[in-house]
């Protein structure tokens, strides 16, 4: 006879407890057996307390406030502030520029240290996490494997975070540091100028930015896949704020700042892309002098393209464009490597890496306190700008790498996120930066370029097929931005709609248009130095989110200290130590271990400090009958922390 399911009985299917499954189908054996009993354990005649701190939590569905419904407070406040910024810039550009400059001066003078300490602190923090006992904790269920194969996972990380920046600064930053060495590294032309220039550039593009991304990615992935929380930045703060505050004013403030950070970070990238495309168009003869009208026109075209891609649902097409772009970038890099100074580039790889590690702490500690002339302005144009830019991209990149990292351990996550992109940056800057420095040494005069965005085109002009490669650069920049900015606008839509994975098209379109408008205003603020306008607003806008990121790290640590794997280890150590002492005392070498329920208050769990898993707003669970039950060791912790390990 076919067994009729009891609607009150439960079992686990994937991550979700399903109703109506017969008791005979509930798996209880093996290392993950007890963790699978995430329903009402009393109905299954097992003394397991739901949401016991030593077991995986009950996850009925990701906890969103109302996913898919517009949060009128978060969206309303951020939308009004964004519109006000655009209107202010359009109506009174001079006053906004003055206010921005004043804000930049204040941030550099009073909070530059915060950016530096936070960025460097995150490097040591994530490395310590990976090497510590927390490194084996999975970003998912205990018995869950990685969602993507390692090769696919690494390939997807290539498309996150830095596409346009690598194109814009690949040749220009190393050359700039070579011609005008950073304060405290000697005069121009000194013998160490080349290796210091490369090491400084690598410092800005390797461990520090990806450690910033890793902190956000870990906190989001752990909360969503391990705890079943919502896909918002505010949800990360549940361990320190509680559910009520996360869904209240505090959570809305956090998500609002996350939207602002993403908005200005995306606008900065759009501005850099517009600058480089305009310069390329001028060099290949498509246009005359570049001015604000041309830049705004390019921004309008790029904005329309990525808005269409974000709302059209043609994910496969965008994915194809992204993959094609990576191939084109590889082709360009190989071309410069082969046609350029190949041996010089190869020599730069170990030299750059060695100099970077030699001066790591010195570069990390740069501040106005050094006393060198111009150090504050240099930091504002380079190091602090970079830290602010990476922070502003954190909500987007953090969510992206979190979503593709389900099932990986913290150790795997940190190793992949830190090392793979850093290796790509090392090779990229060795090729383009090394070629630019060598061309400058050979008298090509690249440093005489009118702007940073012209450096790469001038370098390509020293090589064959200059027109073709220049057009390729413009295509690369455009597609890099379109394939990244559409995702950023979707992230802003997600944060505006309580963490939904599919925000409404109207919301996405608004943030796409807003990004383009903000980018135009930021470029105009710089006047003749458009890049300065981008840097100024980025640094000022990123400051609040630095504080939020520190809170994310604190919240993550509070979660990890109470992770079921960590709690189980505490139980195991306490139980085994006590049982071995008793076994040897009474039986010598001839004993084995079993678990049985003890009298209330006398079990191993009462000697182990664990978090209170009971929500004060919910009634206490009813107690089950306190009958002794002999069970294998791998069925873990019993009801009310009253299990003891006995010897026989």
Residue 193, CB half-sphere, CA atoms under 13 Å: how many?
A: 18
Q: Which of helix, strand or coil describes residue 33?
A: helix
pLDDT of residue 430: 97
pLDDT of residue 644: 58
List where CATH 1.20.1740.10 sits in the chain.
133-561
- Tell me the torsion sign for CA atoms 183, 185, 190, 195: negative
Tens digits of per-residue pLDDT, 580-592? 888 888 888 888 8
**What length is written for the chain?**
648
Among residues 640, 638, 629, 575, the alpha carbon closest in space to that of 601 is found at: 640
Among residues 163, 169, 89, the alpha carbon closest in space to that of 459 is found at: 169
Q: Which CATH number fits domain 133-561: 1.10.357.10, 3.40.50.1000, 3.30.300.130, 1.20.1740.10?
A: 1.20.1740.10
Q: Which residues contact 198 (CB under 8 A, 6 or more apart)?
A: 174, 177, 348, 351, 352, 355, 429, 430, 433, 434, 437
Q: Which two tokens stand for residue 506?
A: 């109207």
Q: How far apart are CA 298 and CA 392, in angstroms?
A: 23
State the DSSP string of 296-361. Answer: HHHHHHHHHHHHHHHHS--HHHHHHHHHHHHHHHHHHHHHHHHHS-HHHHHHHHHHHHHHHHHTHH
Query: pLDDT below 50 — which residues of the chain?
Result: 1-47, 63-65, 614-640
For the whole model, what pTM was predicted? 0.82
Cβ atoms 46, 37 nearer than 8 A: yes
End-to-end CA distance of the chain: 42
Cβ atoms 175, 433 nearer than 8 A: yes
State the DSSP string of 493-556. Answer: HHHHTTT-SS--HHHHHHHHHHHHHHHHHHHHHTTT-HHHHHHHHHHHHHHHHHHHHHHHHHHH
Helical spans, DSSP H, in 404-504: 410-441, 455-460, 466-496
Tens digits of per-residue pLDDT, 413-454? 999 999 988 999 999 999 999 999 999 999 998 988 778 889
Q: How far apart are CA 322 and CA 646, in angstroms?
A: 59
Tens digits of per-residue pLDDT, 207-261? 999 999 999 999 999 999 999 888 899 999 999 999 899 999 999 999 999 999 9
Residue 430, CB half-sphere, CA atoms under 13 Å: how many?
A: 23
Q: How far apart are CA 452 and CA 164, in angstroms?
A: 13
pLDDT of residue 621: 43
Q: Which of helix, strand or coil describes residue 63?
A: strand
pLDDT of residue 236: 95
């Amino acid at each position: 006879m076919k067994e009729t399911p009891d609607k009150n009985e439960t079992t686990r299917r994937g991550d979700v407890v399903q109703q109506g499954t017969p008791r005979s189908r509930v798996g209880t054996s093996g290392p993950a057996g007890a963790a699978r009993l995430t329903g009402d354990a009393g109905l299954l005649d097992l003394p397991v307390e739901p949401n016991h701190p030593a077991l995986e939590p009950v996850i009925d569905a990701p906890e969103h406030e109302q996913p898919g419904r517009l949060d009128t407070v978060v969206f309303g406040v951020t939308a009004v502030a964004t519109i006000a910024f655009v209107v202010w810039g359009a109506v009174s550009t001079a006053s906004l520029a003055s206010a921005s400059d004043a804000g930049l001066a204040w941030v550099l003078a009073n909070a530059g240290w915060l950016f530096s300490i936070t960025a460097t602190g995150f490097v040591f923090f994530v490395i310590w996490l990976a090497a510590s006992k927390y490194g084996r904790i999975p970003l998912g269920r205990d018995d869950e494997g990685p969602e993507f194969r390692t090769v696919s996972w690494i390939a997807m990380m290539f498309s996150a975070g830095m596409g346009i920046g690598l194109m814009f600064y690949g040749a220009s930053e190393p050359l700039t540091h070579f011609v005008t060495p950073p304060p405290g590294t000697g005069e121009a032309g000194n013998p160490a100028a080349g290796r210091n220039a490369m090491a400084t550039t690598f410092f800005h593009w390797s461990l520090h930015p990806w450690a910033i991304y890793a902190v956000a990615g870990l906190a989001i992935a752990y909360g969503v896949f391990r705890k079943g929380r919502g896909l918002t930045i505010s949800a990360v703060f549940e361990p320190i704020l509680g559910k009520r505050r996360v869904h209240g004013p505090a959570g809305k403030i956090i998500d609002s700042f996350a939207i602002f950070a993403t908005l200005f970070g995306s606008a900065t990238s759009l501005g850099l892309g517009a600058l480089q495309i305009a310069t390329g168009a001028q060099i290949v003869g498509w246009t005359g002098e570049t001015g604000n009208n041309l830049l705004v026109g390019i921004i309008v075209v790029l904005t329309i393209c990525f808005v269409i891609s974000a709302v059209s649902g043609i994910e496969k097409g965008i994915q194809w464009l992204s993959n094609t772009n990576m191939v084109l970038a590889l082709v360009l890099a190989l071309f410069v490597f082969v046609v350029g100074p190949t041996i010089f580039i190869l020599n730069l790889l170990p030299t750059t890496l060695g100099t970077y590690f030699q001066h790591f702490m010195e570069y990390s500690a740069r501040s106005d306190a050094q006393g060198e002339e111009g150090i504050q302005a240099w930091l504002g144009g380079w190091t602090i700008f970079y830290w602010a830019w990476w922070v502003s991209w954190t909500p987007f990149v953090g969510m992206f790498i979190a979503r593709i990292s389900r099932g990986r351990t913290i150790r795997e996550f940190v190793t992949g996120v830190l090392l793979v992109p850093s290796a790509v940056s090392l090779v990229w800057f060795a090729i383009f930066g090394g070629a630019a420095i060598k061309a400058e040494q050979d008298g090509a005069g690249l440093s005489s370029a009118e702007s940073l965005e012209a450096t790469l085109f001038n370098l390509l002009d020293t090589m064959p097929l200059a027109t073709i490669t220049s057009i390729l650069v413009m295509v690369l920049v455009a597609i890099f931005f379109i394939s990244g900015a559409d995702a950023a606008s979707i992230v802003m839509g997600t944060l505006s709609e309580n963490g939904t994975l599919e925000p409404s098209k109207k919301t996405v379109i608004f943030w796409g248009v807003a990004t383009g408008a903000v980018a135009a205003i930021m470029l105009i603020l710089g006047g003749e130095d458009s890049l300065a306008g981008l840097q100024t607003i980025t640094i000022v806008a990123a400051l609040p989110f630095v504080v939020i990121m520190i809170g994310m790290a604190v919240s993550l640590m509070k979660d990890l200290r109470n992770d079921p794997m960590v709690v189980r280890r505490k139980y195991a150590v306490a139980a085994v130590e006590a049982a071995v002492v008793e076994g040897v005392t009474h039986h010598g070498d001839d004993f084995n271990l079993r678990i049985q329920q003890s009298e209330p208050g006398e079990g191993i769990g009462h000697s182990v400090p664990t978090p209170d898993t009971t929500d004060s707003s919910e009634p206490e669970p009813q107690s089950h009958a306190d009958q002794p039950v002999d069970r294998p060791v791998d069925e873990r912790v019993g009801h009310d922390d009253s299990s003891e390990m006995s010897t026989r």
